[in-house]
Amino acid sequence: MSLWVAATLLAASVQALRFLLQKRLSVGGLSPAAATFARFVYAPGAIALGLLVWVVARGGALPGIAPGFWPYAVTGGIAQILATICVVALFARRNFAVGIAFSKVTVLMTAATGFLVLGETVTLADLAAMSVGLVGVLVLSVPADGGWQVFNRASALGLASGAFFSVSAVGYRGASLLVDAEAAILRAAVTLCLVTLVQTILLGLWLLWRDRGGLVAVFRRWRATALVGATSMLGSLGWFTAYTLQNAAYVNAVGQVELILSLAISWLVLGERFSRRELLAIVLVSLSVVALVLLRA
C-alpha cells in the first residue's frame, strides 16, 4: 500500500472518532466555535516538543520554509476553522453520519481548487471514480423525512463545509511543498505545527471577544477537550503527510472512507439507524474509494 493511502486511511479513521467527540462536546453545551477551538489549542505545543526531540536525536536543524509558505498556510488554516464550525453546527440538525456525509462534497471541489491554484489535474478515470463517490454522498444527504428536497439550512452548512475543506486541503498541500525537507512526515509536522499555532491564536482571540464562556469551558473540561486535541493532532498529521505526497483531490477522495466509519459509529455508538437509500450510498462511496486506491496503486 502506498504511504499516502495508509496516511489517509489513518487520518480518516481518527477524524471520524474526533468528530464523534466534538459532537458530544457540542451537545454538551459548547458552541461550534469552542468545540472547534478544542481541536487546535493543544496541538502546537505537543508538535513543537516532538520536533525538538527529533532535532536533538538527529543532531540536525529544523528545515527552512520558502517565502510563499505563509499565504498557503494561513488560508488553509482559516478555511479549516470555518469548515469545522460548519460541520459541528450541522450535527445539531442532522444525525452524525449525515453530517459527515455533507462535508465529503469537498472531493470534486478540491480537484477544481487544486487545478486553479496549483495547476494539478486528475485523469478522466479518476474523475469518474470521484463522481461515483459524490453521487453516494448526495444520496445520503437527502433528509430522511423530506422526500428529495436537498436544499435547506443543513445542506447549506454541508456545502459550505465542503467548500472550505477543499480550500484548506489545497492550501495545506501548497504549504507543505514549500518546507525544505525530504522526509514527508517532517514536512507535514512543521506545517501542522505552524498552522495550528495560527489557528489557536486566531480562534482564541475570536472566543475571547465573542464567547468567553466557551473559551473558559474548553479548559475547564480539559479531560474531554484534550482527547479531541489528541485525535485531531494524530489525524491532521496523517492528512498533512498524505497532502505532501499526493494531489489533494486524490487524498480527499480516498478519505471518503471516513463516511463509512462514521456510519458504523452512528449505528454502534449513537444508536442511529439507516434506510435502504443510506445503505446504497455506503455502497457507492465504498466503490469510489476502492476504485481510486486501485487506480492510484
Looking at residue 201, its pLDDT comes to: 95
Q: What is the mean pLDDT of the chain?
A: 82
State the pLDDT confidence band at 296, using cuts at 50, 70 and 90: low
Looking at residue 108, its pLDDT comes to: 66
Which residues touch 285 (CB under 8 Å, ≥6 apart)?
104, 133, 136, 137, 140, 256, 257, 259, 260
Looking at residue 39, its pLDDT comes to: 81
Query: What is the C-alpha to C-alpha distance for residues 219 and 210, in angstroms, rounded to an integer?
Result: 17
Locus of grid cell 489549542: 41
**155/82: higher pLDDT:** 82
Looking at residue 179, its pLDDT comes to: 94
Looking at residue 99, its pLDDT comes to: 61
Classify the C-alpha dihedral 197-74-110-92 as positive or negative.
Answer: positive
**Range in 59-63, 149-153, 229-233, 292-296 with the lowest mean pLDDT:** 149-153
Looking at residue 47, its pLDDT comes to: 92
**172/30: higher pLDDT:** 172
**94/265: higher pLDDT:** 265
Share of the chain above pLDDT 90, in %: 26
**Does the pLDDT of residue 297 top 80, yes or no?**
no
SS3 of 35-58: the string is HHHHHHCCHHHHHHHHHHHHHHHH
**Does the pLDDT of residue 35 top 90, yes or no?**
no
> Angle CA(265)–CA(43)–CA(184) in degrees, nearest 5?
90
Q: Where are the domains of the chain?
A: 3-296
Residue 25 CA, distance from chain mean position: 18
Tell me the mean pLDDT in the region 19-31: 72
**Range in 14-18, 53-57, 77-81 with the lowest mean pLDDT:** 14-18
**Does the pLDDT of residue 1 top 70, yes or no?**
no
Query: What is the C-alpha to C-alpha distance for residues 46 and 39, in angstroms, rounded to an integer?
Result: 12
Locus of grid cell 488554516: 77
Looking at residue 178, its pLDDT comes to: 94
Share of the chain above pLDDT 70, in %: 85
Tell me the mean pLDDT in the region 226-237: 88
Q: Which tens digit of pLDDT belongs to each residue from 93-147? A: 655 566 666 666 666 677 777 777 887 777 888 788 878 877 877 776 665 555 5
Q: Which tens digit of pLDDT belongs to each residue from 164-207? A: 988 998 999 999 999 998 888 899 999 999 999 999 999 999 99
Looking at residue 257, its pLDDT comes to: 81
pTM value surpassing 0.75 = yes
